[in-house]
Structure 1
């Protein structure tokens, strides 16, 4: 349940989070604010013949609310600022920010709002929600795995795949894959 909640996101973090023993729902229940300093949103796009593009977003914010009485009423809200995209190559970063991809000047936010959380295991969940990018909104699903709960801090590993063509970001296909793979580590602080 808790894992589903932190599900987006969206958007991708490369840091693997070890799965800890199952946490009692009553212990995890509550509201959390995502801590960007302790989280990461990473993505990758494959390329025909091998290789591809790897990157991350440096700026994002969000919240998680875990409902102990009804898992389905739990919520995840995540906002990513695409101008913060980074690949380690300034020319590619500028291209990704341009109107050919994120159009960060006219669409300064990518948002994910959960609509459904379904527990799939003791520490895992499927989070379904609405992803909005470049003024287009579509349903997306992410898998979340609870990595731990300690001293008011909760950690999830969230993964998912998004078709970039749905959002008008299909430049370079079919040489570059239409599928964006997200791998996120999201840490929330209670309060």
Structure 2
């Protein structure tokens, strides 16, 4: 699960980003600490050989991002997913994902991401590196972040990333189901 990002990489992009039809927010406008809102969407897919695959989402998560007003690189992100909240169109698949074969949600009730570096890559984009922990195993992961908007006390990002599930001993079903979990997350943050 080489994610991402989800977890969780949102902060840096917004610091110097430009929103459509609006002036680019400066660091002073975006600086602050934001709690990740329940209005966020944490989606994932695992493709299957021959087409199809698994599409799902997490309905319970929490996190915080801090945007440093002086340096994008000093910004931080922390994010927690609760695997027990995984949802898919088929209940039996959601139950399987929660089981000891995949997330082992009873033994490992959280998946966490903590940023270690933030690098701005464009006017409204950034890369967030960090440590992802799932099933008690920790690996470095990377997520791409795109600022979607900053309005009042609310900030919005799209975060994408690929996580290799074999790194976290969740590779049951390979090679029929591919090793890559693709994350596509719309993250909303509310300034504290």
Relative to the length of structure 1, the TM-score reads 0.90
**1:171 maps to which residue?**
172
Match of 1:9 among 6, 9, 22: 6
Tell me, in whole angstroms, the C-alpha distance in 2 between the residues paired with 1:181 and 1:139. 16
**2:76 maps to which residue?**
75
Match of 2:29 among 27, 30, 33: 27
Deviations 1:128-162 (A, max 9, x none): 00000000000000000001011100000000000
Where in structure 2 are there 5+ consecutive unaligned residues? Answer: 9-18
Tell me, in whole angstroms, the C-alpha distance in 2 between the residues paired with 1:26 and 1:121. 18
Tell me, in whole angstroms, the C-alpha distance in 2 between the residues paired with 1:188 and 1:116. 19
**1:109 maps to which residue?**
110
Where in structure 1 are there 5+ consecutive unaligned residues? Answer: 1-6, 12-18
Q: Which runs of 4+ in 1 moved over 6 A?
A: none
Counterpart of 1:10 in 2: which secondary structure?
coil
Q: 1:41 Cα shift? A: 0.2
Q: 1:8 Cα shift? A: 2.5
Counterpart of 1:83 in 2: which secondary structure?
helix
Q: 1:30 Cα shift? A: 0.6
What aligned pairs does 1:49-128 form with structure 2 within 5 A after superposition?
49-128=50-129
Q: Check conservation: 1:161, 1:180, Cα contact below 8 A.
A: yes
Tell me, in whole angstroms, the C-alpha distance in 1 between the residues paired with 2:162 and 2:53. 15
Two-structure CA RMSD over aligned residues (Å): 1.4
Deviations 1:152-180 (A, max 9, x none): 00000000000000000000000000000
**2:133 maps to which residue?**
132
Counterpart of 2:179 in 1: which secondary structure?
strand
